[in-house]
Amino acid sequence: MANPTLKGLLPRLLAQPSYQELTDDLTRNPLIAGDEPLTVGLPGAARPYVAAALRETLQRPLLIITVRPEVALQMQAQIEPFLSSNIPLLNFPDPGALPYERAAWSHDRVQRRLTALTALLEASEGNANAPIIVTSARALLYPTIPPELFQRHQRRYNVGQQVNLRFLLAAWHAMGYVNTSMVLEAGQMAQRGGILDIFPPNQLQPLRVELWGDEIDSIRAFDPISQRSERQLKAVTIPPASEALLHRTNEQAAERLNALTLDGVDERMQALFREDFRRIAEGERFDTLEFYLPYLYPKSATLFDHLPPDALLIVDDWDSLQLNVSQVEDEALRLHEDLIQRGELPRDIATLLYTWDDLRDLFSQQPPLILGYAEAAAHPLGEQFVVGDSYGGRLHEAMQRIQSAQNAGTTQLMLTRQAERMVELLHSEGVDIVGQQAEVAAPLPNGSLVVVNGALAEGFELKAAPDAAAPLAHTEFHLITDSELFGWSRTVSRRPLRAIRRKRSDLFDEIREGSHVVHIEHGIGIYRGLVQREIGGVTREYLFLEYDQGDKLFVPVHQADRVVKYLGPDGRDPNVHRLGTGDWDRVRRRTKQAVEDIADELLELYARRATVKGYAFGPDTPWQAELEASFPFIETEDQVEAIQSVKADMENVQPMDRLIVGDVGFGKTEVALRAAFKAVMDGKQVAMLVPTTVLAQQHDATFRQRLAPYPVVVEMLSRFRTAKEQSEIIERLSKGQVDIVIGTHRLLSQDIEFKDLGLIIVDEEQRFGVTHKERLKQLRSEVDVLTLTATPIPRTLHMALTGARDMSTIETPPQERLPVTTEVARWDDSLVQRAIMREIDRGGQVFLVHNRVLSIHAMAERVRKLVPEAQVAVGHGQLNEHQLEQVMIDFAEGRYDVLVCTSIIESGLDLPNVNTIIVDRSDMFGLAQLYQLRGRVGRSARRGYAYFLHPHPNRLTQEALDRLEVMRETTELGAGFRVAMRDLEIRGAGDLLGAQQSGHIAAVGFDMYTRLLEQAIRQRKAALVTAESNEAPSDDAPIRADVFLESSAAVDLPLEAHLAPDYIADDEVRLEIYRRMAQAQREADVEEIEQTMRDRFGPLPEAAQQLLYILRLRLLATKVGVTQITIETSTSDVIVQFPGPQAIRAIRQGELLNGRVRYGRRELYVDRDDEDWQTRLMAVLSDLVHANEGA
């Protein structure tokens, strides 16, 4: 949730004589070379407040330097509420790679770095408001592009400007933009004739520049997901897409690199370095180019070099800054020596980082203002700020202090995520308040108390300026936050990101040339690509499928939905069918009969849910809104959708059974917490079932912390509790004295009784055994059930895909999340040693998973010998419960560097400082387990590393090799759904429903099997709904085209209808649009496709317009039950064919089409004797649709 503006608090600070003295000093006597830094001496909570005021007063660019990257993000978030919305507030992060690490810089960080550099350049040129740039000590040490080169590669474009297309594209390429078929990320560009797409790093959305000849006709920002334009722009500035530009000095850079000594470098790394040197010499970009940044420019630059002359340099904490830079230098030196020793770095490579000596020289040239403390005496302004009292949840005491301060005339602002509740509490304690406000845009009345819904890390007190009359100053203003009230503070907000959403059906649609596919009417063949053929003088494009004995099938592109990818039960290639035989029809009929049986079984539970009346929860309470407001992040779009779906299910009388699929760390727990709170607010009890005691402990801590302000009783039931404690909790559960209980499978025991259970939350259901699942199955028809999973097991996935269970997906990653670097290798002591040392060097911790308890202590001893400086602990499920609990607590608090453990850490653990995981004998784990284990790392702003180690490949099964290859391939964020789909291929789709159905899946493929099953399930669902409403099924009910596999009308007319390669050059993009067309269900879908094509590719050629015409015909025809539209060979008239004579009789009786068509037994004939026949055919079908809808 975004913070409200607090800009109305600034006038109070600006009126302080000590503040005016400070700004006068900075204006009249600016800090110049040789001056000592000026120290203010502010407590941490007041620094963002003063920084915002300085920017408002001085109207100069500010560069604020903090100790660590996370502090920089926190500072940025804390400044924002006090600042005018038109002032740029930006973060300049470090690249994300370790010093001397030949690794790609984080894409998101590069984007933010370039945005900051662009803002500084525009400010120095007077083209924009002076920005505030917040950075960290580490970020300052990395070199960047020289400012003069950065300025030279800026481009500004205006509508109406004349440009040369060839020169423009060459300029963008020189600026670091990379050609692609579809622009999705910053740094990409694409050309389609006179339409140019580009995603500059300083823009929130990519841009579409459309040319008319040599003139820029329009500039539009577009949505990278839909690829549709959203808003018009008059002008835009496009900066370079990278700090590492390949320019005229490429050859000089390559010469310096080729002079490096590679003798001590191992052969593999030598080959990589030489390939890099070749690419640089030839001007070719590659992922790790920034590693060579000091070689690309005669003199690289720092961020300081980009500052405008009037910029004010601000340091947050001077002493800590020096210490942190020294630590980074030491880390860089250790890594430098280690990489050289391992043969991964040339001995004479240039220094890739600046040092404290370099920074000290820069500070001497431009002395900073120190907001915190230093050796120098504090400024009088600093002495006026103090940290407020902390109450730690003792709210009665807090109310008394607030009342006393009010009596003393102190102006108070309570900024809390619990605003509604605090207002109630203040009133009940008799404290007078002005009221609750949405924001503080204007100064607060003196002596008033105002409550605002929002959050800052912590509050502060501003004392009145002391004078001779009052040397002991009273508190003039007090900002009170949740940190003081409850003892917890707000985490840094993340920007909402948008996931590139894919329909669930698209998971099956990744068809490539050579893929086995299934055609609905013709069976299994091989896809050979898109081809154009001329038949009867008409050119069209087709999907070319090859069948047995060389048989060929050319599928019209508007029927692309009839072709699906084949996915079999054992991953082996199927036998392809022979065209013209009845084999496929027989196979499909048998399978259809089989799925009807399985549909009955799958929907038995659904039917019970539909008939059993559960409990309908009421609408959200004010406290619900308050709890949700206290979420320390901004919810992602799909997280909001999931929450809304869960609430809608809960408010329905039918028991909820919803699956939340979200990748590790994507916010599923928050969905569960809100659902649990909603249930408790209605007086119901909640049981949260988790697979491990360790995870139960973590969820217990999370729920207790978030629900601390409310009268909600949370308990944990696991072996971390003594027998006596468990007995007491069970008794209190039965009496209704526990609202939320979190536990392992112990919760499913027969002795557990609830007074009024309303909701069960199941985390990672696949981890529970058959008995536990049966118990859950019984409960599902009685209470609401919410299931959370990161890697859905195939059966669960299958039920969700086929509609037997409702499903929500959370696909958007947190802003700072980076993909985990994944390495699959043989066990090697030196590799393990380097991985652990690397993580410890950057202040992190390591999981080493060894899943055999008998030898786990020997493994721990081995680690101690490899890395003597590491503190190593052991954790496994056979430890005494108190021992295990203490080990986990100690590791979470940083007392150990390495935890050698079993897979007990697999599910849900959230330890942001653990960013390396090493899995021994990874070949022994299932795919879902491997994916969960990797999800334990990379949960913060730092890159995570996962090492999946195994014995010699000759000792591995093919399935194990396949699983490890999937882990190597699926490193992108949000890949859990893809992992589940690959699990189908590896384990075999037959595991879904057992051997009984495996043969049917093999015969038709998983996708076709799913479609048939989905059809059967939907028919039965419809029957249930009809039975519930006591309505008889109607034969005249409209047929939904998406329900029945073959209900779409086939259209075969002599029209050139296709997307020409010279209109859409990329085959994959063309096929994607064909599939979208084939799946269109409504006129609005066709309109959307048409507008998208016009927007992305320009005016539609005649053949594309005809394709859309055929698409519209097909939709109309399908609505009125037409099976086929084709040409009569003898007369060349158009035949509109129906399934039987009844439809023709009804049309004749209506006399709607008399005089415009000829009637046959099962068909209508439309003359094609003039050029207007297409219009008349469309009108005939439109009239039939209107008549059908009006009947």
Mean pLDDT by 10 residues, the chain (1191 residues): 84 94 88 83 95 94 92 92 92 86 82 93 83 94 94 93 94 92 90 92 91 94 88 93 82 86 88 92 89 87 93 92 86 82 87 88 90 83 91 84 92 88 85 85 91 90 75 82 78 41 44 84 90 82 90 85 75 80 85 77 65 87 80 75 94 89 81 96 94 83 86 87 87 94 86 90 74 66 83 55 71 68 85 83 87 94 90 88 82 91 74 90 85 80 84 78 76 57 53 55 76 75 61 37 52 89 86 85 92 91 93 91 88 89 82 83 87 90 85 57
Domain 155-238 matches domain 821-972 at the CATH topology level: no
Q: Say how far apart CA 484 and CA 398 lie, in whole Å.
A: 9
Q: Say how far apart CA 204 and CA 201 lie, in whole Å.
A: 8
Q: Say how far apart CA 138 and CA 141 lie, in whole Å.
A: 5
> Do the Cβ atoms of 133 and 115 come closer than 8 Å?
no
Fold of 155-238: Penicillin-binding protein 1b fold (3.30.2060)
- For 1032-1058, letters b (16+ CB in 10 Å) and e give eeeeeeeeebeeebeebbbbebebbbb
> Do the Cβ atoms of 754 and 688 come closer than 8 Å?
no
Residue 404 phi, psi (nearest 5)? -65, -45
Q: Say how far apart CA 1071 and CA 1055 lie, in whole Å.
A: 19
Residue 1187 phi, psi (nearest 5)? -65, -40
pLDDT score of 507: 40
pLDDT score of 972: 58
Domain 389-486 sits in CATH 3.90.550: no
- Looking at domain 821-972, which of 3.40.50.300, 3.30.200.20, 3.40.50.800, 3.30.70.1380 is its CATH number? 3.40.50.300
Give the DSSP letter string of 545-570. Answer: EE-GGG-EEEEEGGGGGGEEE---SS
Q: Say how far apart CA 846 and CA 937 lie, in whole Å.
A: 9
Would you call 572 helix, strand, or coil by DSSP?
A: coil
Contacts within 8 Å (CB) and 24+ apart, 357-366: 358/302, 359/140, 359/141, 359/325, 362/302, 362/304, 363/37, 363/313, 364/33, 364/34, 365/33, 366/31, 366/33, 366/304, 366/307, 366/313
Pick the closest to residue 578 from 549, 545, 554 (CA basis). Answer: 549
Please tell me the pTM assigned to this model: 0.73
For tokens 């059809």, what's the residue?
Answer: 1015
List the beta bridge partners of residue 221: 207, 231
CATH code of domain 612-810: 3.40.50.300
Pick the closest to residue 50 from 107, 114, 132 (CA basis). Answer: 132
Structure tokens at 605: 């539970």
Q: Say how far apart CA 669 and CA 816 lie, in whole Å.
A: 19
CA torsion, ordered 981, 986, 991, 995, to nearest 10 deg: 130
Q: Where are the domains of the chain?
A: 17-148+301-370, 155-238, 389-486, 612-810, 821-972
- For 913-938, letters b (16+ CB in 10 Å) and e give bbbbbbbbbbbebbbbbbbbbbbbbb
Architecture of domain 17-148+301-370: 3-Layer(aba) Sandwich (3.40)
